[in-house]
Structure formats: C-alpha cells, structure tokens
Amino acid sequence: MKGNNMKEDIERVLISEEELKKRVAELGAQISADYAGKEPLLVSVLRGSYIFMADLTRSIDCFCRVDFMAVSSYGSGTVSSGQVNIIKDLSDSIEGKDVIVVEDILDSGNTLSYLIKVLQARHPASIRLATLLDKPSRRTKPITADYVGFTVPDEFVVGYGLDYDELYRSLPYIGILKPCVYQKD
C-alpha cells in the first residue's frame, strides 16, 4: 500500500539527480561523436523513457529527429507478462534512417527484442538501442544495448520516468521502492 507522499515510499536513492545528469551528458557526448555528420532519429518508447529522452536529446549536439511509440507489456504488476502491444505507432517512416531506440529499462528483454524486430522490418539504415538502466540478471532474451546509462541490481526501481502502477515517474532520481508498497498482504 502506498504512503502519504511519493518520497515516503522510497527505501533508498539508487541513482541521484547529479549522477543521472552526469551520465546522461556522457551518453549524449558519445552519441554525438558516433553520429557525427549523420542525423539520427531518436525513438522514445513511452511512457517510461520520456524524461531520459528529454534529457538525452538535449545533450546531443548533432542534428536529430524525434518520434514516439507506446507499447505495453507489464500492466500494473511487477513481472513482465511477456505480451507486447503497440498502443501508439511512430508518426513517420524510418526507412533509410539511423534509428536510436531510447528506453528507460532493459529488463527481460521481451519488449525490446519484439520492438527491434518490428522496426528492422521497416528497413532503417541502422538501428541501435540506448537504455538508461540495464538489469542483465533478469534477461530472458538475447539482447544487449549499445548505450547503457547504469547497470542495476534486481530491485524494484522507480523515478526519472519509471513507474509502479503509473505512479512515481516524476521523482527526479532513481529510487528503490519499499516492498510494502507492492506486496499484497
């Protein structure tokens, strides 16, 4: 059960605002160097990636375009259901484009391996994956990200876009949720 305010439900801060800012700037610099002379298309996978996307794009200094896709796989639980649904598709064609898929977390890999397959079939020039968080201990699909912000342990993380039951996305840091919030008694 949730408490009276968001911060009360956080057991501890895993990644601070300062650490996020520094690492996102590093990723932006890396992408700017890798895509120098190109015009990458950044595809944000909603909803979890919206804050990372906003900060990452502002730290990339080459020309870039943005587009958005919404998928759902978790429902309100904490374990992936394995089922991926496209709720909102991209607005424009990606044919011949250098696509960077931007995610908040790579967990089982189910969502991303499905999405990459869907996007590959649309014939982009290239496709890479940038994820803020990587939880390799939970991977069930053989997928790795090209750009990783932080490798995290198997804890229930929220904030900076990541939710539990659609709440906590607006926390400015990545925190570990108190188990009493999601455990049924």
173 binds ligand PRP (CB under 6 A): no
Which residue's Cβ has the minimum distance to ligand PRP? 48
80 binds ligand PRP (CB under 6 A): yes
Q: Is 107 one of the catalytic residues?
A: yes
- C-alpha 130/C-alpha 114 separation (Å) is 15
Shortest distance, position 25 Cβ to ligand PRP, whole Å: 22
CB-based contact 87:70 (threshold 8 Å): yes
105 binds ligand PRP (CB under 6 A): yes
- C-alpha 118/C-alpha 109 separation (Å) is 14
118 binds ligand PRP (CB under 6 A): no
Q: Which token pair is 61? A: 């200094």
CB-based contact 85:72 (threshold 8 Å): yes
Shortest distance, position 128 Cβ to ligand PRP, whole Å: 16
Shortest distance, position 18 Cβ to ligand PRP, whole Å: 23
Of 94 and 112, CB closest to ligand PRP: 112
CA distances, 182 to each of 61, 72, 127, 177 (Å): 40, 19, 35, 8
Q: How many other CB atoms are found less than 10 A from the CB of residue 144? A: 13
Shortest distance, position 104 Cβ to ligand PRP, whole Å: 5
44 binds ligand PRP (CB under 6 A): no
32 binds ligand PRP (CB under 6 A): no
* Catalytic residue from among 107, 146, 163, 165: 107
Residue corresponding to tokens 């996307």: 53
- C-alpha 66/C-alpha 157 separation (Å) is 26
The neighbouring-strand residues paired with 86 are: 71
108 binds ligand PRP (CB under 6 A): yes
List of residues contacting ligand PRP (CB under 6 A): 45, 47-48, 72-74, 80, 103-112, 163
List active site positions. Answer: 107
